[in-house]
Structures are given as C-alpha cells and as structure tokens.
A and B are shown apart, each in its own frame.
Chain A
Amino acid sequence: MTFEGKYYNGRSSKGMPAQITLRPDGLRIDYSADEEVGAVHWETAGIHQSEFNDATTLLRYGKFPQQSISVVDKGFREALLQYYRGAAFLKSGYNSVLRLGTSGIAVMALSLLGLLVAFVIWGVPALADRVAMHFPQSYERQLGQQLYAKMLQGYQVDDEKTAALNEYLNTLDTGSDYPITAAVVTSDEVNAFAIPGGYVVVYDGIIDKMEHHEELAALLGHELGHVQKRHSLRALTRSLSYYMLASLLFGDISGVAAVLVDNASALRNLEYSRSLELEADQEGLELLRRNELNPQGVVLLMERLQRASESEMLTFFSTHPNTKDRIEALKKQIGESEQPYGEHPELEGHWEQLKAR
C-alpha cells in the first residue's frame, strides 16, 4: 500500500513530496524535491507515539532532530491501524477515549462528577481522621504546649485557682492518655476550651456560675473528651485536606501554607461540628461515671449554661450549638443505665478551695 504525503528531514522545514509504503518491518519513504531525491526506511520500533490525529496524520521518527511525515488522507490512518495492529506508536489510551463519542464522554463526565462528590463528602473526612489519629502523641503535645503558652499570653492567669483546679484534676480519674495541664484565667466570659495534647483553659466566669462540683467535673470531662478524641487535630486535618484537594484541582500550592498559618492562630475559634460536641458530652458523662459522681452533673451544667445564655452573650454556646438536643441526648444516656454514685469528699475539698478564692 502506498500513500502520498510530505517528508521533513529534521534539518530543514522544506516539505518534500513523498511516497509512503507500508511494509512489514516499517515504512519506506521515497521523497523527491527539486534536485534532492532519496529514500529512507523507518523501523516501526523507532516511530514515536502518534496521538490526536485528524484528517492529517503526523508521524515522527528517530532521535533529535526527528524526521517526520504528514499525510492528508484518512485512509492512511486506517491502513496503519490495520497493518501494524498493536504497534507501540499507535497505542493511546486517550485516542480510545476520544473514539467513545459525545454520549460516551458525557456519561464518563457525569460518573466522574458523582465520584468526586462522593470522595469529597465521605472520602476526605475519613482520610483526614485517619491521619489525625496516627499523628504521634509527642508532636501533638509539643504543638499543644506552644499554642497553650501563646494563648495564655492574652489572659491573666489566676494562680491560686489554677493550683486548686489542678489539685482537683489530679484527684479525678480522668482516664486520659494525656498528662493534663489546666489553667484558670480571669474573665467574665462563661467559657472554657481545650488545646491538643492535654491543655485546658477555664474562664473563672464559668466557675462562678457553677454550684456543684459535678458540673465542673462534667465540664472538664467534656474538654478532655475533645483532647482524648483529638477533635481539634481532626478538624485541622480535615480543613487542611479540603484545601489540599482544592489546590490540587486548581493548581495552587501556596493556598496550603495559608491554611496552616490561619489555623494555627485561629485554632480556638474552630467550630466543632455537632457530632464532635456530642462525642465530647459523652466523654464528660463517662468521666462522672468513672469517678462514681452524680451523672446529673452534665445535665445541670447544660441547663445552667442554657439559662444563663438567655440573659448573657455566652461564647461557650456560640461555638456549641443545639443545647436542647444535647441535653435530651444526655438524659437518654443517663436513663439507660442506672449506676451507683456518691459523695466524694476529697474532690469537694478542692472544689471548695476553688470557689473560695
């Protein structure tokens, strides 16, 4: 089989009229232009991959500078596909996709969109959680320590209350994998927060509101629940992975760094998701049970804070939504299993100290 085309020798841009013959071991090209007449043989192994051809088929051969031929004849491509079936230079995954036609491509696009949505909704959080849970504890502790020190700079620490709170914590069986460091800071705000690695900051505004030490135990249990379940870290890896996905799709790496910096400073303001809050509530209840304290402490805490929130702006609640639902969930859990509870003189002693100051 012979086709008409143009031959370029790789040294000049002059297109020489050529006869191209398909042979078992390759192509034979006979060219002639003005005084220049000759023939070359292209072994199939040396022909470069040829994709995206249209009416014109373009083939390139050899090392730099490459020779090439261009044939304006659809029959040429068909003939190549028939004659050199399975040859490397004709293989192309992309070309086979292009042959699917419009409807095939549309189906592919839609299923891809579905896959992507599924990945974003379920895949990313699951992956991020796994990463967060495998983060070494020592690093987490180090990171937490820095954040803790940084955050305390903005507050006035009440040393005596802090000492009493830590006594209280030491007496309590927290069941935590982390050594716990807590501080009481002077503020009218009714708030408390946890920092990764076992750090807890309690505002004395919230202690003033409390009447029973079980409420404090419940609050500490809640915050230590955030620590134990690595909630901040999980939220951080989650938002980080979304940004990474976004920068992957839109090709912007610098966005990742922005998130890192943003999150480090605004960790406190992270909005814990509802499920994380419920999980922390459960941990709070768990702590009361472990110490054989009255489980109603959690409910008391919630109700008191809810009542207070009606008259005051409470930051504790602005980041912790759905108090009613939470109380309902807690009551249900308490009701399910009756467990003995009693007085705890030692804890109460530390509590008195804390309140007395």
Chain B
Amino acid sequence: MTTTLLEKEKQTTHFSFTGKGSDYFAIEIVNFLLTVVTLGLYYPWAKAKSLQYLYRKTELAGTPFVFHGTGKEMFIGFIKGVGIFIVLYGMLFFGLLTETPFIMVLSYFAFLVAFLVLVPVALHGMMRYRTSRTSWRGIHMGYRGELSDMITTYLVGFFLTIFTLGVYGSWFVVKLRKQMIDNVRFGNVSLRYVGDGADLFLINLKGYFFSIFTLGIYFFWYVKNVLHFYVNNIVVLQEDGTYSRLQCQVSGWDMLKLTVGNIFIIVFTLGLGIPLTTTRTMSLIMNNTVMSGDFDADALVQTEEAYDSAVYESMTDMMDIGVV
C-alpha cells in the first residue's frame, strides 16, 4: 500500500509551451498591419487570433488547449466597451465644461463610482468569457461566480484597503483571487485558491524592503515569490475528493534573466520584438509548472452548457487590469 501512495504523491502532470517566437512574431505583425490599415477595427480579430495561437501552443499532459473565442464576439465586446467609455468620459467632460461647481463635483464623483463598479463587472465578464471559450481535450472550462458577489468583494476590499492605508491590499488580492478561481469549473473538476492574505502581506513587506536594501536586485526574487504565491496555491479538486496542486518552479534567477532579456529585446527592436518577450515569458512559466497529486487526465467529463455573451472581454482589456 505504501508504495502506491508514494507513487501517487509523485504523479506529476506537466504543462508546456511549444510556441516559437518567430511564429508568434509573424502573427502579431500581420495583426498589427491589419489593425492599422482598418484604423483599429481589426483589433478584436487580432486579439482572438493571438489568443488562439498562445492557447494552441500551451499543453497540459501533451495535449494543447483550444481557445474558441472569435473576432466577432470580441468585436461586440469591444464596441460595448468603447461605448461605455465614451459615455463615461463624455459625462465627465461636459460636467466639467458647465463650470457649475456642484455639477462638476457631481459628475466627477459619478465618474469615479462608475469606474469603480466597472472593474469588478469587467473582471466577472472576463472570467465568464475566457473560461467558457477554453477547452482541453474537448472539455470546456466554466465560471460559476455571481456578479453581485464579485462587486461586493471588490468594493468592500477596495474601501478597506483605502481605510487601512493599503495594508489590507494583500488580503484584498487574495479575496479577489478566491472569488475568481474558486468559481472555475473544468468539466467535473473544480479549482480552489488556498493562499492566505497574511502570507502575501509578508511577501510584499519582505519584497519591498529587501528590494530597497539590495538596490533592486531582490526585486526579481520578490516577483518570483508572488508568482509562486499565485500559482502554487491553486488546487485542482476532483469529484471523489482527491486533488492535485499546481507547482511553479521558476527561480528568482530565471526571473532576472527573463526580465533583463525582455528589456533588451524591446529596446533594441524599438518595441517590434514585444511578441518575442511574450513567448519567452510563456515558455519560462509553462515549462516550469507542473500539477502534482491526483489528476486523471482521462476522467474529465463535460459539464458546461453552450456558451453565450462576450460583452466584457475587451473592456477589461482597455482598462488594463491584466489578470492571468
């Protein structure tokens, strides 16, 4: 019996990234060209294409992920996002033009509140959209979170962070990750985020002071710690109660090499090389991440229904929240 247990503990399922910088570069060049020629209208299609490539080259247990999102879906989201921004900024702009102090303050306040609520709405939308459009071996992911929960979590966390002068920030981030990850389904498997705010707080505290003491060198180890905290606390839970954990083995030294290399690439190619930095980053993280524990790659069962709206995808994008 002991042997089987040991064997089970040792079982690892590998992630990998097989994309090539030159290929992704070519795709992004085409995207860029078409986006410029169409005065930006092609952007959603470009985004869809680039995600399709990155997903297709990301493998779990030797099988690639598939991104099912389409340019048309993203275009609708993009238009709605742009519309909301135009309305919001228009309100603010005309409010300020009236020069009536009351209306100026009111419109500014309304703008801030709308913006604040928009963030969790966009996060929720992005989670719904991204997960529903992701499949692996034909099994789709899904997001079961409630929008109201997301808004509550976000607003409460936001204001607590302000009232505690930022100290609560670490707990806020963890709450938000829990809200997002705990509601993800992958067929009949579900995810859990088990990180603790206090741990993140210590990582941040240590990172802040050590980075200063070491003139910034520690910063890469700090980023590594945060990455580990985000990834290694994700648990994949199967229906029978068995589970496995994600493990990221990227080191601080790796992080340093990646960052310095990326900066050189961007500077010396005048920004043209940004796609190369994307594939370098993906390679480093994916090729050094495994899932260890019980995971039966053959036992996933489709549980999602056919998917729907793509409203929020591009909105998050424009606000540049940059999750996952």
Contacts and interface: CB of A to CB of B under 8 A. Distances in A.
A13 B85 contact: no
A109 B302 contact: no
17 contacts: A12-B139, A12-B302, A13-B298, A13-B299, A13-B300, A14-B137, A15-B298, A63-B306, A65-B139, A66-B138, A70-B63, A150-B99, A248-B35, A249-B32, A257-B93, A260-B93, A261-B96
A252 B319 CA distance: 7
Given A13-B298, A51-B53, A112-B33, 16 more contacts: A8-B137, A11-B138, A12-B139, A12-B302, A13-B136, A13-B138, A14-B137, A14-B299, A54-B57, A60-B138, A65-B140, A65-B304, A98-B23, A119-B36, A251-B43, A254-B318
Interface in A290-321: none
Interface in B287-324: 297-302, 304, 306-307, 317-320
Nearest to B54: A52
Contacts of B298: 12-15
Given A13-B187, A13-B297, A105-B22, A248 B40 contact: yes
A52 B56 contact: yes
Interface string B14-51: 00001000110111011011011001100100000100
A112 B271 CA distance: 13
A189 to B, nearest CB: 26
Interface of B: 18, 22-23, 25-27, 29-30, 32-33, 35-36, 39-40, 43, 49, 52-53, 56-57, 63-64, 66, 82, 85, 89, 92-93, 96-97, 99, 135-140, 187, 270, 272, 297-302, 304, 306-307, 317-320
Contacts of A248: 35-36, 39-40, 43
B240 to A, nearest CB: 16
A93 B30 contact: yes
Given A15-B63, A60-B66, A10 B30 contact: no
B97 A252 contact: no
A112 to B, nearest CB: 6
Interface in A268-305: none
B283 to A, nearest CB: 14
A191 to B, nearest CB: 25
Given A58-B56, A94-B49, A98-B26, A13 B137 contact: yes
Contact of B36 (A100, A116, A251): A116
Given A58-B66, A248-B40, A261-B93, A100 B301 contact: no
A81 interface: no
A64 interface: yes
B320 A252 contact: yes
A17 B51 CA distance: 29
Interface residues of A, number: 46
A10 B82 contact: no
A256 B317 CA distance: 16
Contacts of B32: 112, 249
Contact of A52 (B22, B53, B272, B300): B53
A93 B49 CA distance: 11
Interface string A251-268: 111101100110000000
Contacts of A249: 32, 36
A113 B29 CA distance: 10
A12 B30 contact: no
Given A51-B52, A119-B36, A251-B318, A102 B136 contact: no
List 3 tightest A-B contacts by C-beta distance, closest first: A13-B300, A13-B137, A8-B138
A24 to B, nearest CB: 26
A105 B53 CA distance: 17
A68 interface: yes
Interface string A7-32: 01111111100000000000000000
A54 B29 CA distance: 20
A253 B64 contact: no
A108 to B, nearest CB: 6
B29 A11 contact: no
A337 interface: no
Contacts of B270: 113
Contacts of A150: 99
A94 B56 CA distance: 14
A138 interface: no
B25 to A, nearest CB: 7
Nearest to A94: B27
Nearest to A265: B96
Nearest to A102: B22
Interface string A58-74: 10100111111010000
Contact of B30 (A65, A97, A119): A97
A82 interface: no
Task: Determine which residue in A10, A51, A64, A105 has the highest number of CB atoms from chain B within 10 A of its CB, and name it.
Answer: A64
Contact of B138 (A67, A94, A109, A254): A67
A353 interface: no
Contacts of A8: 137-138
B139 A97 contact: no
Contacts of B136: 13
A146 interface: yes
A239 interface: no
A93 B30 CA distance: 9
Task: Determine which residue in A12, A97, A150 has the highest number of CB atoms from chain B within 10 A of its CB, and name it.
Answer: A12
A9 B99 CA distance: 64
A271 B84 CA distance: 33
Contact of A108 (B29, B49, B301): B29
A12 B300 CA distance: 6
Contacts of A54: 18, 57
A352 B243 CA distance: 95
B36 A58 contact: no
A98 B97 CA distance: 51
A275 to B, nearest CB: 26
A56 interface: yes
A27 to B, nearest CB: 16
A26 to B, nearest CB: 19
Interface in A110-144: 112-113, 116, 119
